[in-house]
Amino acid sequence: MLEVRDLVIVRGDWRLEIGLLKVRSKTVLLGRNGAGKSTLLKAIMGLIRPANGRIIVNGRDISDLAVEDRPLGYVPQRVVRLAMSPRDQLEYFSKLHGTDYRPLISKLGLEPLVGKRNLSLGETQILTIATVLLKNPEALLMDEPCANLDWLNKKQVLNLIRILETPILYVTHDPLEALLVADEIALLEEGRVKGVYPNEARERVQKDLKFYDLYERLKTSGPRIGD
Amino acid sequence: MVYGGAMDRILLIAVIVSVAYFLLLSLPAVVMFGAAPSSSFFRIVASTATYATASSLIVLPVSFIVGFALAFRPSGSYMTPLILFSTAIPHTAIGILLAPIVFSLKITDTATSIVLGMFVVSLPIGVGVMRASFAAQGVELEEFLRSMGVRGMRLQWFYLRASPTSVLLAALLSWFRAFSELGVFLIVAQRPQTVGVYIFEEFLRSGPTAVVSASLVLLAVAMMLTLVTLVLERAGST
């Protein structure tokens, strides 16, 4: 479990204060642009220094650890492309963390990705998530990982995220994305978490989405205009 | 990004523009003064190119490290204008500022002072190109890599792999800047003769006729490097 306690970040007049935020499974931090979602993730990862606060992972206080030593995985908003093939990327980070990428790739069903040369944005983001998992992180921080993806790519990434077992703090401004990913939704407004709510609508949204998924529906629909 | 035929057309236009530019600048000089070649000139070109290469080999790693810091460290944005404006300082003034070092090390009129002068004038260009390249790749790459446990020089190695075109561009530009230097050498290193000093001295001694061919060679080198840069950019965009 990831816990954020008494975290305070100050940027001029702007202030972010998190009294207590617990991430047990998949917690979506929902908030508008500029609410401080990405700033919070970066502070948890250690990429920016908060004025105050503790970060606790599975009972261990990691607040004083360097970014490189924190047992967390971080997926940034902008899709990260490394100048290496997917296989080389996975091999490099496997070696760095003393793990083997093959069982993970097999478990996630990503074998076709490994041999590919030109990945789509969605595939690159999936590769990034797989790469992050090679670190065996105790919690994952995802900063709008679907922000730059089209619907079909987004669906692929969201489906992958749903099957992950690691606790995830997932940041988004998109309520639909929140409903599809979350077990719990924390609403961030004016620099504070206004409340954490269980996501009771996920299965219903997932079901309804089949109806609203135009890509699928139009492909399988009957006559078209002009037929 | 521009692909295939469109890029080839742009490349063709670039070649035509480069040749036209070359002719536009060179024809009046040839018509007025003739193009008398000099026997010692190509030897001087070769030695200047060697000094410029030595200078670029030092400039590149320094540009890489400084460019990285300027792109991603909080104070970097404050330092960037300083680096850029330093390219605009008159080079005779840089020569004057370098003079105490050169005189006290007793390296006046030596290859060492030439390489030192070249290093000082071409470093801002190398740093500027590398900084822009790193900034274009974004801080997210660094944040991701650090979160993955990558630290120190390994971080920069990833950026280096991601931007071979920019490294080559920085090398070419800093090399040509070093190759073309005159102002600094007038103060601290008139010998061994470099191309800039040669043209300056020959002009003073014999007038423009003696240095038309030398100037045309420099212009041709500039055109060639322009084309190489375009080809590199094409390689980087496809």
> What band does B218 get if pLDDT is binned at 50, 70 and 90?
confident
In total, the C-beta contacts within 8 angstroms joining chain A to chain B are 51
pLDDT score for A139: 97
Q: What is the mean pLDDT of residues B48-55?
A: 97
Across B31-42, average pLDDT: 71
Cα distances from B205 to residues B26, B88, B208, in angstroms, run 21, 29, 9
> Is residue A136 less than 8 Å (CB to CB) from chain B?
no
What pLDDT does A83 receive? 87
d(CA B8, CA B4): 6
- Name the strand (E) or helix (H) holding A102: helix A101-108
Residue B219: predicted pLDDT: 83
In this predicted structure, the answer to whether residue A224 has a pLDDT above a threshold of 70 is no
pLDDT of the residue at A67: 96
Instruction: Tell me how far apart the alpha carbons of residues A99 and B64 are, in angstroms, rounded to a whole number.
Output: 32
The model's confidence at residue B1, banded by pLDDT at 50, 70 and 90, is very low
pLDDT band with cut points at 50, 70 and 90 for residue A225: low
What is the SS3 assignment for chain B?
CCCHHHHHHHHHHHHHHHHHHHHHHHHHHHHHHCCCCCCCHHHHHHHHHHHHHHHHHHHHHHHHHHHHHHHHCCCHHHHHHHHHHHCCCCHHHHHHHHHHHHHHCCCCCCHHHHHHHHHHHHHHHHHHHHHHHHHHHCHHHHHHHHHCCCCCHHHHHHHHHHCHHHHHHHHHHHHHHHHHCCHHHHHHCCCCCCHHHHHHHHHHHHCHHHHHHHHHHHHHHHHHHHHHHHHHHHHHHC
Q: Which of B138, B143, B161 sits opposite A74 (nearest CB)?
A: B143
Regarding predicted confidence, which is higher, A124 or A216? A124
What interface predicted TM-score (ipTM) does this complex get?
0.89
- Return all residues near A224 (Cβ < 8 A) that are at least 6 apart: none
Render pLDDT for B139-192 as a digit per residue (tens, 0 to 9).
Answer: 889 999 999 999 988 988 898 888 888 888 889 999 999 999 999 999 999 999
Are A68 and B150 a contacting pair at CB < 8 A?
yes
* pLDDT (average), residues B94-104: 94
Interface contact flag, B147 A78, Cβ < 8 Å:
no
pLDDT band of A85, cuts 50, 70, 90: very high
Q: Tell me, yes or no, if A96 comes closer than 8 A to chain B by beta carbon.
A: yes
More reliable by pLDDT, B217 or B114: B114
* Set of chain A residues whose Cβ sits within 8 Å of the Cβ of B140: 76-78, 80
Please report the pLDDT score of residue B40 as a whole number.
85
Confidence category of residue B34, pLDDT binned at 50, 70, 90: low
Confidence of residue B2 (pLDDT cuts 50, 70, 90): very low
pTM comes to: 0.78
Check residue A91 and give its pLDDT: 96
pLDDT at position A140 = 96
Chain B residue numbers touching A47 (CB-CB < 8 A): 143, 146-147
**pLDDT beyond 60 at B3:** no
Q: Is A125 on the interface with B (CB under 8 A)?
A: no
Alpha-carbon gap: A179 to the closest alpha carbon of chain B (Å)? 26
In the predicted model, is pLDDT for residue B9 greater than 80? no
Instruction: Give the best-scoring range by mean pLDDT among A149-163, B96-110, B156-170.
Output: B96-110
Residue B223's pLDDT is 83
Q: Mean pLDDT, to the nearest integer, of A214-218?
A: 73
Task: Give how far B157 is from chain A: nearest CA, Å.
Answer: 10
Q: Identify which has the larger pLDDT, B18 or A30.
A: A30
Q: How far is CA A12 from the centre of its chain?
A: 28
Residue of chain A whose alpha carbon sits nearest to that of B163: A83
- Put simply, whether A81 touches B (Cβ < 8 Å) is yes
Query: SS3 breakdown of chain A: % helix, strand, coil, rounded to 5?
Result: 40, 25, 35
